[in-house]
Structure 1
Amino acid sequence: WQQAGEGILTTDTRAKGATVTVDIGDQQVTINGITKGSGMIKPNMATMLGFVVTDAAIEQSLLATLLRETVDRSFNCITVDSDTST
């Protein structure tokens, strides 16, 4: 994931990513995320890109709902010096 993170860099100073492995029931699941963009993030991520991948066996519609709810409470609340994309 480091190479993928580096591949989407623009004005960022370093790749940003995270990987977590968790046990859900009797299954081990891995979730990876990378993102780029630290300015011009308002409104709703604007020019920021974020990617999340998982090997979890989950319905696409549920995953989309969870992602939307999570992003609305996290990334979509961020402002960096009130910069808005043009």
Structure 2
Amino acid sequence: MSSAELARYGIRVNVVAPGFVETPLDRELRIREGLAVFSERTPMRRSATIDEVANVFLFLASDESSYVNGSTITVDGRHLANASEF
């Protein structure tokens, strides 16, 4: 079923699409694999924090997002849209 079909039952369907998230594992992999360049291609020049991504989920679970349905929220500091420009 789609988000439109589920809406009549009070069910909202949304997607959170995080980009790079700063975690101990992420930090280790970036150092080992030399992947620091990815944050350089992000306009915000850094990875997201775990809390920044979690806050999007909290928003979607709250009453403040009661009319948000069928949406994809990208939490990547604009990395994907900007990466092709480098």
Q: Same fold, TM exceeding 0.5?
A: no
The structure that is helix-richer by fraction is 2
Q: TM (normalized to structure 1)?
A: 0.31
Higher relative contact order (CA 8 A, sep 6+): 2
The structure that is strand-richer by fraction is 1
Structure ID, larger Rg: 2
